[in-house]
Every structure is written in C-alpha cells, then in structure tokens.
A and B are shown apart, each in its own frame.
Chain A
Amino acid sequence: MTSITSLVFHPPYVARVEDGDLTFELAEPWYRSLPVSCITDLEVTVNAVAVPRENVTITIGGTTRTVAECADAWEDFWFVQDRATVRLRGVSVGDELRLGVHLALRIPYIMVGPATALPHHAFGEENFEVVR
C-alpha cells in the first residue's frame, strides 16, 4: 500500500538514450502542483552508482534547470499531472538499468516551525528498460 505521495516512478518504466544522454520521467510525489522552487534536492543513482548533481537536469513545463537552479523558480509550478524529464549526462548503460531517485521537496503551505515548511522525501527504485 504505497500512497501517491511516495511515488516518483509510474509505469511503464522506460528510459531513453537521447544525444548520448539518458532521460526518464519523474512524477511529482504530492497531490497538488508545487512551485518548482520547492524541489530542494534530487539524487539519482544508476545501477547503484550516484550521478554527480552537475550532470543532472530536470525539465518541467518546457524549462530545463539544474537542481540548484530550481531554487529560484518560485513563480513556476510543476503541474501534478505533468511528468518532469530528468536528463543525465555521462552515463553509459546497457539495455536495462536500475534507477534510483531521492526527491526532496518543501511543502510550502504546511509550516512545522516559525520559519520551517514541511520537508517531504520520496524514494523510488525500479528496473528500467532502455530505449535507444
């Protein structure tokens, strides 16, 4: 019984190789759209090896950013039905891979302290088919 707010991957689990980069889709693990600035971290592993953050971008609503650049995007929203595209540079894979994601969010309307919004962490790990 896994609730929707813990799911970053929804089937089908398919990753693509595009221009030498690896891309896959990420779901927003919350029940409503959130400002892009509320993405506080995104850790990706490929076959249990961490991908350096400088080699990771996330595309939401047509705009591509590094995870660090998300912090300033507080006027853009990640619509809850839209899937983000994560792109990894410098990763070589075969026809299958095991993808792991830890997505950290800030829930901006639920305060748990005078200046602290609720942190939310979602983890996903699945075997992906690679399409070239």
Chain B
Amino acid sequence: MKTGITLYSATNEWVTRRYDLESLLAAVAERGIGPGVEIVGFQSIPTFPDVSEDFVRDWDRLLTKYDLVPTCLGSNIDVAQRTDRLLSDDEMMASLERQLDTAHRLGFGVVRIQIGANERVIEKVTPTAEKRDIKLGMELHAPEGARTPAILKVRAAYDRIGSPCLGFIPDFSATMRAVPPGELDQLASLGLAQEWIDRLIAEWEGTGAPFERFGRFAAAAAADGVPQPAIDAATMVFTMFGREPVESWRDIADQIVHVHGKCYGFDESGNEPSIDYPAIINLLADVDYRGWISTEWEGHVFMGPGTVDSLDVVAQQQALVNRVLGERASL
C-alpha cells in the first residue's frame, strides 16, 4: 500500500488562491505527504477537459522536480451541462474520452468515474481505456457501497463487459462508524438543538435506505418547528456519510484499482472518530491491496477557509495509516 494525496484535500486553500499548482505540489513534497498525487481534473486544470502542450510539459517538470507520482485523475460527466437537455450516451462517452486522453497525457494510470456513468457509457468507453492502458475506477462513495443496489448493477455490467480495465475505488465515506463531530458542530450552529442531534444520530444509525431515514428525521423535525436551514443541512449526513459494513469491501477486493482514504478530523490520540481506520486498513492489507491510498480530507464541507491547515490534517491521516500498518508488521 502506498500513500499519497488528492489535491482536492486542499480545496479551501486552492479556491482562495493560497496556492497555485506549483506551490501546492511543492508543499506536498516538503511535508512528505506524497508521493502519490491525485487531482480532480475540473478543479486543478484551468482548461480541463483539455490540456495544452505547455501544460503537459509543465506538469512533467513539476512531478520530476518534486519527486511526485501521478496516481488518479478524477473525471466528471456533466450530464446536465446543457440548459436545454441532458447529454446523450454518445456525448457522455465523448466527454469521458476527452478526459481519458488528458489523463493519459499527464501520466495517470487510473481515472475515477462516478455513478453518473451508466453501463452503456462505460461499455462504449472501455476500448479507449484499454488502448490507453488506463483503469476506470468507479468511486464507491456514500450513500453507495459495494453492496448497494446501484453498485450491484455496475458489478453485473462489469462481469458482462469483462475488461481488466474496469474496477472500483473504495471511498471510506461509504463505511463510516459515526457522524463527524465537526458536522454536528455545524448543525448545532444552524440551530439544531441537542435533542434533535441525538435523534439525527439515531436515524443515521438506524435501518432503511438513507433517504428514508432522512425523511423520517426531516418530517419529525419540521413538525416540531426546527429551523428549515438546519433540516436541509442535515441531508448531507445521510448522503455523504455511509453506513455500509467495512467487510463489504471484500466483495470487490480483486477489483480495487485505487483507494480514497477519506477523513474529516482526528482526535488527540490521532484517531479518526468517524472512520474505523484500523479495520479498513487491515482489511486492505488482508486482501493484499498494493496500490495507492489518496488521503482525502473532506472536512472542508463544514470547515471553511482559514479554520484549519488542510495539509496538516492530511499528514495526520497518513500517520494513522502508517501506524496501523506498523502495528500489523510488528505482530
């Protein structure tokens, strides 16, 4: 298992222009939180989905200068980019092919795809991925997981298409053990009283599809006069923080092409209260996963610019991963 970062972790610093691409890569190298580098194409590259020759040259120069390795490029299919209608399957395929082409030119061996890529689009783009020697990794992100109905359909499509280029990217948001404390603080600041936070947690830990659980919470809270912005904000608890069992990652173990080491924050002992890192990292080691884990700090969804240094949190995540792997090696 090799560690690295997705630059998406530094969203706060990126959007507020504290870094440009070179200074961000330099900071990653200086703090030793590479060497793997993942990007979201539409975040890090001004001309994405295309890149100029100059950009490619500069990218190569930066990776060499800072001794970093391109791991995964996050693609998006903007199915609703047009105002008049949704993109057709052929248009979605064309968009994805442009992004694969750019990934190839920048040296990425894995392209992250999302559930928006339907099985027809995946099948159409597979020959291009094979030709480019790129693995397509469907992100398994909350509220989906390895065993949810939508992903079972993708797994069936993968079986039918039968290409070695098709795989999955587990994201630890799918298999969480608690709602991140920072999110609960945010909801409290929006006026959600403690009794409703307790009710929210109880629903989150309960049974049923995420939207059913949110629906029960929202109806009861609205009837009791809880402020609507607080109820709306609570949607995120059910869409971004998944309750799938950690063991479910075993189902797709031999199809894992990359991993998103999601994290939100760390306690004084260096543990992630909302994600059982020891259980997940040990599982990945058990199934002999040898690829990259990109540290993905997503606390920026509730912690704005200036509240925390994103790269410091990334370093804490990697320390925890290495601690778990170290303890395992010493057994």
A residues lining the B interface (CB < 8 Å): 1-5, 7, 10, 27-28, 31-35, 37-38, 71-72, 74, 77, 79-82, 106-111, 115, 117
Q: Are A72 and B83 in contact (CB under 8 A)?
A: yes
Q: Are A4 and B79 in contact (CB under 8 A)?
A: no
- Complex formed: what's the CA distance from A1 to B76 in Å? 28
B residues lining the A interface (CB < 8 Å): 8, 11-12, 14-17, 20, 40, 42-43, 46, 48, 76-83, 86, 114, 116, 182, 185-186, 189, 300-305, 307
Partner of B116, one of A32, A81, A82, A111: A111
Given contacts A4-B300, A33-B48, A109-B80, 4 further A-B contacts (CB under 8 A): A4-B12, A7-B15, A7-B305, A80-B14
Q: Are B300 and A109 in contact (CB under 8 A)?
A: no
Q: Are A108 and B305 in contact (CB under 8 A)?
A: no
- Complex formed: what's the CA distance from A79 to B45 in Å? 8
For A117, list chain B residues within 8 Å (CB): 79-80
Using known A-B contacts A1-B304, A1-B307, A77-B48, determine if residue A10 contacts B16 with beta carbons closer than 8 Å: yes
- Complex formed: what's the CA distance from A106 to B82 in Å? 10
Q: Which residue of A lies closest to B75 (CB)?
A: A109
For A72, list chain B residues within 8 Å (CB): 83
Using known A-B contacts A3-B301, A7-B304, A77-B48, determine if residue A32 contacts B42 with beta carbons closer than 8 Å: yes
For A35, list chain B residues within 8 Å (CB): 78, 81
Q: Are B301 and A80 in contact (CB under 8 A)?
A: no
Q: Are B185 and A1 in contact (CB under 8 A)?
A: yes
Q: Are A1 and B15 in contact (CB under 8 A)?
A: no
Q: Are A31 and B80 in contact (CB under 8 A)?
A: no
Q: Main SS of the interface on chain B?
A: loop
Q: Are B86 and A109 in contact (CB under 8 A)?
A: no
Q: Are B42 and A3 in contact (CB under 8 A)?
A: no
For B186, list chain A residues within 8 Å (CB): 1
List the 10 closest pairs (A to B, CB-CB), nearest first: A117-B80, A108-B78, A32-B42, A108-B80, A71-B83, A32-B43, A2-B304, A109-B76, A35-B81, A108-B81
For this complex, 28 residue pairs linking A to B, each with C-beta atoms less than 8 Å apart, are: A1-B185, A1-B189, A1-B302, A1-B304, A3-B302, A3-B304, A4-B15, A4-B305, A7-B15, A31-B15, A31-B43, A32-B42, A33-B42, A33-B46, A33-B48, A38-B80, A38-B81, A77-B42, A81-B14, A81-B20, A82-B46, A106-B80, A109-B76, A109-B77, A109-B114, A111-B80, A111-B116, A117-B79
Q: Main SS of the interface on chain A?
A: loop
Q: Are B304 and A4 in contact (CB under 8 A)?
A: yes
- Complex formed: what's the CA distance from A117 to B82 in Å? 11
Q: Are A74 and B82 in contact (CB under 8 A)?
A: yes
Using known A-B contacts A1-B302, A31-B15, A81-B14, determine if residue A109 contacts B78 with beta carbons closer than 8 Å: yes
A10 to chain B, nearest CB (A): 6
* Interface-centre pick from A71, A77, A106 (highest chain B CB count, 10 A): A77
Q: Which residue of A lies closest to B49 (CB)?
A: A77
Q: Are B46 and A79 in contact (CB under 8 A)?
A: yes
A42 to chain B, nearest CB (A): 15
Q: Which residue of A lies closest to B301 (CB)?
A: A3
Using known A-B contacts A31-B8, A108-B78, determine if residue A1 contacts B303 with beta carbons closer than 8 Å: yes
- Complex formed: what's the CA distance from A80 to B20 in Å? 12
A7 to chain B, nearest CB (A): 7
Q: Are B81 and A37 in contact (CB under 8 A)?
A: yes
For B11, list chain A residues within 8 Å (CB): 4, 31
Q: Which residue of B lies closest to A38 (CB)?
A: B81
